[in-house]
Structure 1
Amino acid sequence: MATNNPNPIPFSEPPYLRGLPSPYHTESHRRFQKACRAFIWENLHKNALEWEREEEVPAHVYETFRKNNMLLPNLPSPLPVDWLKKLGIHDILGVKVEEWDYFHTGIYIDEMSRSGIGGPGMSMSAGFAFGIPPVIKFGSPQLQERFLPDFLTGKKRMCIAITEPEAGSDVANITTTATKTPDGKHYIVNGTKKWITNGIWSDYTTMAVRTGGPGAKGLSLLLVPLKGYPGVTMRKLKVSGQITGGTTFIELDDVKVPVENLIGREGQGMRYIMTNFNHERLTIAIGATRQARVALSSAFEYCLQREAFGKTLMDQPVVRHRLAKAGAELESLSAWIEQFLFQLKEMDRNEADIQLGGLTALAKARTGMVLNECAQVAVLLFGGNGYTRTGRGEIAEKIYREVPGTRIPGGSEDVLLDLAVRQLVKIFEVQTMMLSGKSKI
């Protein structure tokens, strides 16, 4: 049942929710957390496990979140205040839109993941979080006027479509083409997109397309109509975890898109995608950290009660050792993510994209490892119950199946580890040249 009292089970909550001092969380953050938790419990989490079993979240859930402005927290902070006020949106559960910061965002994502099941929350949030920001950040005033009123109010659903059957983390290898018609008024889009979260419900997508030659310089972003649009075929994909997230395969056969739907400039798509990835990777890390808390604290509680060989599992040193190692990894990760949120709150957005991009990739990769450790520990300590899709260990079994959904999307783990170091080397080289008085060519 829903409660805002601190959960006494170790590793179940971040320190500020256990009543410990926090240098980051203000009274505004704490008020929002309470209101957010109550709203999400009532409208999502109390039925999340049932909906995940049934593999579908009812449409009325999205409508409830939309009407209460509870899709907006998926956007990067600061929010597009001028646009929201123009649309008559002045607050989110009592927090004024102009006072919103990245800690409010982090609280929302954490609470959306509190059930431990990723799919139900993802069914409403992923497209909003990753598909709309490029339109806000790079779209022309005319494009924004045409689409943001319906996107920001959730009347039209969005997703982001980058990944293809042969191009996942290797974004520069995308082959979906957008070729201009002879009169220059339209793009004709051909290709396929795969593993597109929320795609099946989306009216539009921010799509990576090839408008030029090979490699990163040939990529652009295009706002492409989807649902019911001529030439577009979509079908759901069966995946092992986040089942209700609407993972979709999209085929595009001579899809005619107005040139005015170009986001930003031709050939700049790779740059736009990379900056968009920073928000995506951070939100994945926040949600997966909460899933790790659910897995580990559930196992902790079970070990206090389950008896074997004449005593509880918690009385076994090897069990305590497993919990301690996983818990140390989890709390260290949680503190690192809070540090990211503070830095994003204080830094200029463009500077943050440069300075924190590599580290965000590293944090997202590390989160996948920590979630894997916590979920695996939970399954092992639940024993046969953790291997069963129903019953006492069901939550551990489900979270363990969702681990790849953290380690692969948003850039697979090995790719991000390499990317992080390459980005840090670039920053080092630039700073070294500045100190030596040289300019980087």
Structure 2
Amino acid sequence: MNHMYFTEEHHLFRESLKEFLQKEVVPHINKWEETGTVERFIWKKFGEMGFLGLVYPEAYGGMGLDTFYTVILLEELQKINSGGFAANIWAHTYLAMTHVNAEGSHDIKEKYLAPSITGDKIGCLCITEPFGGSDVASMRTTAVKDGDHYIINGSKTFITNGIYSDYLVVAAKTHPELGNKGISIFIMDRDVPGISATKLDKLGWRASDTAEIAFDNVKIPAENLMGEEGKGFPYIMQHFALERLIMGVNAHARAEYALEYAKQYMSERKAFGQTIDKFQALRHKFSDLYTDMTICKTFNYTVAHRLNQGEYVVKEATMSKLKSTAMADEVIYQCLQFLGGYGYMEEYPMARLLRDSRLGPIGGGTSEILREIIAKMTLDNKDYKPAT
């Protein structure tokens, strides 16, 4: 299957990335998990290696590479067993930076995208609100035009990189009376007066600085509007396809990691005079789990290929996230069981992996919301369109 999508250059990139992660990231993971703070030096190292600009234009320091370099980055980040660290990297690179690249003016890209690629600036994307959750259209944050400025008021929550980021990409309603047709996208520096953030305490993703952010009469220049006023909702929906595929790829990768670890453990752990990988009940359960993972992985690669060809894959990406995240939770739960009591111990990887994985069916649109989106497309024949 790999030869269908991955070239020799892709494989060389994967090996280089693995070596980098083992040398530069893995030695610090436990500390970052304990402190909830990823140190700034690692962002610069990622930037120096080009990992933050894989898909972005060379004009701003990117590499202009295809989607499968992103797939490789996502997969290998999952296999160092820190969902929080992985989230910090991909939320910056594929949530915040995606909007900057797609909707930002040349000046905005010079100011924010270029230093994001080098690791000198970290971004966060602020869409979800305390009272809205997956219901993006119901957001209450407002942006009122005041001469050549906008005044932002409201709050956002569950924001990855919400504490330590240098800039924020924020969705707000410029015309609340228009519902989802009144949403616009803005960019602002962290140090603008009126922005405050509170760190959230989470079940998993412990290395990630997830925050609730408040905007109290935040005044920003009108040129900080990205794209057209009132087009924020279709911009968000368009990029959700990428976010959901990312979470699908993340899911199959962490499931694969769990299975690889369980396989090794089962080949060494003995009970009743033989290694436990010889017991039929465990062998057959492992076979089922490996099959489920492989089916999701194969589908996700197909969707990534179509996205790389420029197709609008919102339906398929939604399916990817829905099935892959549920699969990963089940695989990791069962792999923890394969380890018995050791699976429950923090010195083994499964406990953290189980906690981190549980966010999959929640973040980026809950599974319940995704099922309704798929129902609208398949039962009601709703045809979502890309932003124009």
Task: Give the TM-score taking structure 2 as reference length.
Answer: 0.92
Contact 1:212 1:267 in 2 (8 A): yes
Q: Residues 245-286 of structure 1: CA distance to partner in whole angstroms, max 9, x if unpaired?
A: 111111111111111111111111110001111111112221
CA RMSD of aligned residues (A): 2.0
Q: 1:233 offset after TM fit, Å?
A: 0.9
Contact 1:44 1:120 in 2 (8 A): no
Q: Residues 325-369 of structure 1: CA distance to partner in whole angstroms, max 9, x if unpaired?
A: 111100111111111222223x23xxx22xx11110110111111
Q: 1:48 offset after TM fit, Å?
A: 2.2
Amino acid in structure 2 at the alignment position of 1:398: R
Amino acid in structure 2 at the alignment position of 1:55: G
Which residue in the other structure is 1:373 paired with?
A: 330
For structure 1, the 5+ residue unaligned runs are 1-14, 17-21, 90-96, 431-441
Contact 1:127 1:198 in 2 (8 A): yes
Q: Residues 154-206 of structure 1: CA distance to partner in whole angstroms, max 9, x if unpaired?
A: 3222110001111111100111111122xx21111111111100111112111
Amino acid in structure 2 at the alignment position of 1:289: H
Contact 1:117 1:291 in 2 (8 A): no
Amino acid in structure 1 at the alignment position of 2:214: E
Which residue in the other structure is 1:176 paired with?
A: 141
Which residue in the other structure is 1:218 paired with?
A: 182
d(CA) in 2 for partners of 1:103, 1:429: 27
SS of 1:23's equivalent?
helix
Higher mean C-alpha deviation, range 414-423 or range 198-207: 414-423
Tell me: CA distance 1:145–1:25, structure 2 relative to 1, closer, same or farther (3 Å).
closer
Q: Residues 291-332 of structure 1: CA distance to partner in whole angstroms, max 9, x if unpaired?
A: 111112222222222233443322222111211111110011
Amino acid in structure 1 at the alignment position of 2:58: V
Tell me: CA distance 1:145–1:52, structure 2 relative to 1, closer, same or farther (3 Å).
closer
Which residue in the other structure is 2:351 paired with?
A: 397
Amino acid in structure 1 at the alignment position of 2:334: V
For structure 2, the 5+ residue unaligned runs are none
Q: Residues 405-424 of structure 1: CA distance to partner in whole angstroms, max 9, x if unpaired?
A: 21111111111122123234
Which residue in the other structure is 2:59 paired with?
A: 82
Counterpart check, 1:235 vs 2:198: yes
Quick one: which of 147, 151, 157 aligns to 1:188? Answer: 151
Which residue in the other structure is 1:35 paired with?
A: 16
Which residue in the other structure is 1:423 paired with?
A: 377
User: Alignment identity in percent?
Assistant: 30
Q: 1:38 offset after TM fit, Å?
A: 1.3
Contact 1:116 1:295 in 2 (8 A): no
Contact 2:123 2:167 in 1 (8 A): yes
Tell me: CA distance 1:406–1:186, structure 2 relative to 1, closer, same or farther (3 Å).
same
Amino acid in structure 2 at the alignment position of 1:336: F
Q: 1:145 offset after TM fit, Å?
A: 4.0
Contact 2:14 2:72 in 1 (8 A): yes
SS of 1:57's equivalent?
coil
d(CA) in 2 for partners of 1:217, 1:361: 22
Contact 1:36 1:111 in 2 (8 A): yes
Task: Give the TM-score taking structure 1 as reference length.
Answer: 0.82
Tell me: CA distance 1:423–1:379, structure 2 relative to 1, closer, same or farther (3 Å).
same
Q: 1:23 offset after TM fit, Å?
A: 1.8
Counterpart check, 1:130 vs 2:130: no
